[in-house]
Structure 1
Amino acid sequence: MNPVLEIQLVAVIVAVACALPGTFLVLRRMAMMSDAISHSILLGIVLGFFLVEQTTHPVVIGMAALSGLFTVWLVETLLNTRLVKADAAIGLVFPALFSVGVILINRYANNVHLDTDAVLLGELAFAPFNRMELFGFDLPRGLVAMGAILVLNVLLLLLFYKELKLATFDPGLAAALGFSPTLIHYGLMSVVSVTAVGAFDHVGSVLVVALMIAPPAAAYLLTDRLSVMLGLAAGIGALSAVGGYWLARWLDSSIAGSMAAMAGFCFLLALVGAPQRGVVARWLQRRRRRARFAVDMLLVHLSRHEGTPDEATENTLAHLVSELGWSPAFAERSVQAALRDGLVVRQNGHLALTAQGRERARRVQAR
């Protein structure tokens, strides 16, 4: 297989495997937990290495996963004291565990391939050189390991989709129906830990966080349906991986860094252009609400002076500018909008309500 294709396949599998559990972290407002786990598992990797003196031994993977769960438990314990908030608890726990791991590397494993640069950034370019035999095929080890984790994540998602959905959106109802939100929570954190451990060696902690959060956060802005959100998160993650690889080749820069940048760029596009929650859409919504409110104010003003002796002077464009404090341009736009909707008509130099406009003014004043 072409090494270029192998690197991209490993990156895509890592991205999709991270995006699936990351979607539930985003929905649960626990995005920072992925940062905590992806950094604190370094301590478990180092301790596991001291036990077996191998970086790929199952004991190392198990210790790293336990380190991630230990992080979650510590954060939850701090939260239960009610003395600190969630972000503070996470900010206290993961730097402490991560720094202990870094100190142990520098003190006792300085000549081993556990350097902090690889920990933070990873090196996907080396993925094609670390190979293994599987069913007679010579494949990159990262492709096999992350492929197995991706299959595990998909199977668990299919098996426990309803439970995860219920516990994510309504933990109280889940508990009332006999499910354990705590058990589901720790199960999800276990999946996050295992995924982070698998991806850690190939892409580093920075890209693990980027791929767990940026694609799901972008998908969250694009849809309200969980099933669609999961698919979009996986697709955006894969797009970030492939696009980031080619960006790295073009810039001759870090592959992991370029992929993280591409994931951030995809989120930025969603943030600006999402049809309902995007910056542009929300600006247009505010503009439309402001225009509608202005038309309502215009109709109420006209209705209050309708049939009075001063109607001819009060219900004019010039008087609207002075009494309502509108600019001439804004007043003209509001009148034109009311004219287009058939709510008012121009009559003998002043504005008059139509039957439709009179009815809408009545509804507005009845609110």
Structure 2
Amino acid sequence: MTYAAWIILTAALVGMTCGLIGVFLILRKMAMMADAISHTVLLGIVLAYLITRDLQGIHMLVGAISAGLLTAFLVQWLRSLDVQQDASMGIVFTTVFAIGVILISTSVGNIHLDVQHALMGEITFIPWEKTVLPMVGEVPKATALLGVVFFIVLLFITLFYKEWKITSFDPALAASLGIPVLFMHYVFMSLVSIATVASFDAVGAIMVVAMLITPAASAYLWTDRLPVMLIISCLIGVLAAVIGYFIAAWIDTSISGSMAFTTGILFLISFIFSPKHGIVSKYI
């Protein structure tokens, strides 16, 4: 595959993975939790590095998942104290992210881990760091990791589709049916954390947030059926990756930024032209 093809494939995997998870975030009215977790995983990554002094390995994933679960737990705890959900997310997000930034500035030192890289990522470097997979050959490490994460997310959504569907629309009914609502919530937050940290180094926090929220919000305008919504969200994520790359090549700018911008353009198109909820159809 060519250099450009690897970049587009990597971004498309981010779009599909985040697109699947984003649908359930939108349905649960937790869209801003994506923003919170995409930033607070920075603390988990920094702590994992401080403990192991190694930027590669499973410990980085464990640290990020732990930070994501800590974020979900703290938000849930503040809500139990009658703090509004949006305020809870704002308090936890800013505090935990600030701790991560302070640790990078004071304890990490001069290594390949900085705030700008964490926010914007550097997808142009993806094709240069490769690994060898059986029966596949050489592939970029980030692409291989995102492929595995996409499979994990797809597997969990398939296995627990009924549980997450019920808990998203009616948690009280789910609890009355014996479904462990809180446990399923934390499993889902773990998936959000895994998808976030897998995408973190490649595309940065800004594109992760864009891919988690905007394709799902666009898909919500096109259909009221959950299976169709999941498919449309994935397709919009892939489309944003492809179009965003060519926009970046055309005007010579940030690839991740262009892809995030493209998700906004696709949402605007959906907002205007979707058959049921679009402005044009409502006007007609």
TM-score range, shorter chain: over 0.9
Q: Does 1:246 align with 2:230?
A: no
Partner of 1:111: 110
Partner of 2:234: 234
Show CA shifts across 1:76-108 (max 9, x none): 1001100x2111110111111111111111112
Partner of 2:180: 180
AA paired with 1:221?
L
Q: CA deviation at 1:3?
A: 1.0
Partner of 1:355: none
Distance 1:16 1:55 in 2: 26
Partner of 1:121: 120
Partner of 2:7: 7
Partner of 1:93: 92
Q: CA deviation at 1:280?
A: 2.2
Distance 1:185 1:196 in 2: 16
SS in 2 for 1:90: helix
Partner of 1:157: 157
Distance 2:148 2:84 in 1: 36
Show CA shifts across 1:225-252 (max 9, x none): 0000000000000000111011100010
Q: CA deviation at 1:262?
A: 0.2
Q: CA deviation at 1:11?
A: 0.5
Partner of 1:256: 256
Normalised TM-score (structure 2): 0.98
Distance 1:58 1:151 in 2: 17
SS in 2 for 1:13: helix
Distance 2:223 2:270 in 1: 11
| Aligned structure 1 segments of 4 or more residues deviating by more than 4 angstroms | none
Counterparts of 1:61-76 in structure 2, within 5 Å, are 61-76=61-76
Distance 2:144 2:170 in 1: 36
Show CA shifts across 1:232-291 (max 9, x none): 00000000011101110001000000000000111111111111111222233xxxxxxx
Distance 1:120 1:56 in 2: 19
Q: CA deviation at 1:142?
A: 0.7
Q: Does 1:31 align with 2:40?
A: no
Distance 1:61 1:172 in 2: 32
Runs of 5+ unmatched residues, structure 1: 285-367
SS in 2 for 1:138: strand
SS in 1 for 2:272: helix
Q: Does 1:267 align with 2:267?
A: yes
SS in 1 for 2:111: coil
Show CA shifts across 1:183-229 (max 9, x none): 11111111001110111111100000000000000000100000000
Show CA shifts across 1:274-331 (max 9, x none): 11111222233xxxxxxxxxxxxxxxxxxxxxxxxxxxxxxxxxxxxxxxxxxxxxxx
Q: CA deviation at 1:182?
A: 1.1
Counterparts of 1:273-292 in structure 2, within 5 Å, are 273-284=273-284
* Larger relative contact order (Cα-Cα within 8 Å, sequence gap ≥ 6): 2
Distance 2:176 2:247 in 1: 50
AA paired with 1:125?
T
Partner of 1:223: 223
SS in 2 for 1:133: strand
Partner of 2:204: 204
Which of the two has higher C-alpha Rg?
1
Task: Report the RMSD for the aligned CA atoms in angstroms.
Answer: 0.9
AA paired with 1:175?
A
Q: CA deviation at 1:56?
A: 2.0
Q: CA deviation at 1:109?
A: 2.0
Distance 2:204 2:195 in 1: 12
Distance 1:71 1:153 in 2: 20
Q: CA deviation at 1:52?
A: 1.2
Show CA shifts across 1:26-68 (max 9, x none): 0111000000000000000000001111222211110111001
AA paired with 2:56?
T
Counterparts of 1:34-45 in structure 2, within 5 Å, are 34-45=34-45
Partner of 1:324: none
